[in-house]
Chains A and B, each alone.
Chain A
Amino acid sequence: MPILEVNNLKKYFPVYKGVFLRPKGFVYAVDDVSFTVKRGETLGLVGESGCGKTTLGRCLTALYDKTDGNVHFCDQDIFSLSPKELKTFRLRVQMIFQDPFESLDARQTVKEILEEKYLIHKKHNRINIDDEIAVLLEKVGLLNADMSKYPHEFSGGQRQRVGIARAISLNPELIVCDEPVSALDVSVQSKILNLLLKLQEEMKLTYVFISHDLAVVKHISDRIAVMYLGKIVELADADSLYDKHLHPYTEALLSAIPIPDPETKKERIILKGEIPSIQNPPKGCRFHTRCRYSTDICRKEEPVLLINNREKEHYVACHQYG
């Protein structure tokens, strides 16, 4: 049974304009997205800025309400939870944010940041919080002495470790990681990735890993979904996505990544033009304006995400494979 099941999820943000703030259309941030996440796996979500990957991540943690569709976490519809159920849900589903400089309260010490969750979920009577936090800090590679420090005393990597400690403190099952290493240097990034992998193994965590860096996503994920303008265009296990990718956008995205090896020769596909506005996405296939294979049908009909290789669970939304 999948831990998370997303069916036809839509999230539109209304745009208001003019003196009377009349609604003038929508931002189609997530538009009819379906997928499942299996227990214990890492699902990578990649795409460029504005493709809706962060909005999707926030819908999965019920931080945003849906416009349409549904999300089931362990067979519970997360958008129709009672306040009490929602609190339990938040115990089981956690989030790690991109910017370790902004996601921690600058006026709280590490201890205060971490103990808040025990207080909110009323776990503090049964355990010794200080001991618990010490164990937690050790798990993420920080020192006991760091407990009384403030976020500004740490480097970016250490701050991200505090963010991770906060997320894992109450033994969650699912963690949505929203660009957790994008703000970090390469040498720090590898350490945080190692930490995430170690914790996943130790605590049997399931990750939804959002990033724009395909090399990082490939390293950490079992399966990867590629998003373009609010839609999933391709979903496959990590190796097939890189070796046997089908969608022209995935092809272009992969060819655009600079590879740290001057000897590698590869064909570079440079996409023409700009990414269309998400308020007014192109009719038909959303990628047809920049696709080098586009035909008449691409301009008229929108392709659906269909299974292409059942054995490999490889899905693609493109008329070429329809």
Chain B
Amino acid sequence: MDDQVLLNVKDVSVAFNTEAGKVHAVDHVRFELKKGIILGLVGESGCGKSVTALSVMRLLPKPSGQIINGSIIFNNENILNFSPEKMTRIRGKKISMIFQEPMTALNPVHSIGKQIKEVYTLHFSEMNLKQIKQASVEMLAKVEIADPEKVLKLYPHQLSGGMRQRVMIAMALASRPEILIADEPTTALDVTVQAQILSLIKELQNSFSMSVILITHDLGVIAENCDEAVVMYAGRVVEKACVKELFKNPLHPYTKGLLNSIPSLERKGKSKRKTQLPTIKGQVPSLENMPKGCRFNPRCPVKTAICESHVPHEQKYSLNHSVACHFVNNREGNNAYS
């Protein structure tokens, strides 16, 4: 295995038991997270991006959610084989996660100081109270919170949304993790606050030299912050590429459709003001009723018979660009990469 690869998600499938039977929220998802980069995981609601992240953290709801296939390799070990005790030592220490809604992720009845302290008492039992307090203050200062000593005594409701997310980041990074999973960290925030938080995440990623998985539905956030991106649709990975390549040369019809349907802010952009935007026809299929073959085929403008019968496999298009679409191969007229 390439030693630049920190986390390797291999063919992971996740199934949920529901009233309507077993549904496959995530189907044979595979991607690699290299050291020191920000990987974007992008897709619309229900495409399985959060479920993928929760699988890496081993936080899927029990007993309804199960990983039924695949492996997640972290530091040459399969996370999925870890005992719950061993996972507790990894989770929050080596791999941390921040969530979309910082209000529900923080405990409203404990002070910020107490909640940060928990990270240290759990993972660094050798530290005494004085050291913990000092470390907490340092950590809050790192996430650019003014007057950290005072904030330690405050409760979550006394902080604004942006401040709460900063506290969440401080807690997640207190243990100096190797991987930070950020699940829609700025969706609940305003644009100017979003800009603050994203630049903070980027800065800390650099100074802590960690890897980040940034989950978002906003392609703009991906373009400006990530090095590589994974596009998901209906539980499957449809396209993977380095970010520049993905936006310059999107290959999958879904990625293209998604990029076209965003209203452009710049005049030179494709869509003129007050004109009809390009759209993707139809709707996202429900999990219980997935189309056969390529899951995008009912909505795809270029589908052929093979799309309805065969699942397209991921093929390399160029060195850092791969796509799961029958059509890409046809268009190129060669199978050199498959």
Q: A residues engaging B (CB < 8 A)? A: 42, 48-49, 155, 157, 185-191, 193-194, 197-198, 212, 214-216, 218-222, 238-239, 242-243, 252-264, 268, 270-271, 274-275
Total number of residue pairs linking A and B with CB closer than 8 Å? 134
B308 within 8 A of A: no
Given contacts A219-B271, A260-B219, A262-B224, contact A274 B258 (CB under 8 A): no
Q: How far is the CB of B49 from chain A (nearest CB, A)?
A: 12
Contact of B263 with A191 in the complex, beta carbons under 8 Å: no
Contacts of A220 in B (CB 8 A): 263, 273-274
Q: A212–B191 contact, CB under 8 A? A: yes
1/0 contact trace for B228-250 toward A, CB 8 Å?
00000000000000011001100
A sample of 9 cross-chain residue pairs with beta-carbon separation below 8 angstroms, ordered by A number, consists of A48-B193, A155-B284, A185-B44, A186-B262, A189-B261, A190-B278, A258-B224, A260-B223, A262-B223
B59 within 8 A of A: no
Q: Are B191 and A259 in contact (CB under 8 A)?
A: no
Give CA–CA (A222, B220) in the complex, Å.
24
How many angstroms from the CA of A190 to the CA of B277 in the assembled complex? 6
Closest chain-A Cβ to B324's Cβ sits at a distance in Å of 18
Question: Which residues of B approach A to under 8 Å, CB–CB?
Answer: 44-45, 160, 162-163, 190-196, 198-199, 217-225, 243-244, 247-248, 257-259, 261-267, 271, 273-280, 283-284
User: B256 → chain A, closest Cβ, in Å?
Assistant: 12
Closest residue on chain A to residue B162 by CB atoms = A274
Alpha-carbon distance A242/B264, docked complex (angstroms) = 11
Name the one of B163, B243, B273 contacting A239, with C-beta atoms under 8 angstroms: B273
Please, how many angstroms separate the alpha-carbon atoms of A256 and B198 in the complex? 10
Chain A residues whose CB sits within 8 angstroms of the CB of B276 once the complex forms: 194, 197-198
Among A238, A270, A274, the residue within 8 A (CB) of B199 is: A270
Check if B190 sits within 8 Å of A258, measured CB to CB: no
Choose one: A238, A257, A261; the contact of B191 (CB below 8 Å).
Answer: A257
Kindly list chain B residues whose C-beta atoms are within 8 Å of the C-beta of A191. Answer: 279
Whether A260 and B259, one on each chain, are in contact in the complex, defined by CB atoms closer than 8 angstroms, is yes
Closest to B225 in A: A258
| Shortest Cβ gap from B18 to chain A (Å) | 16
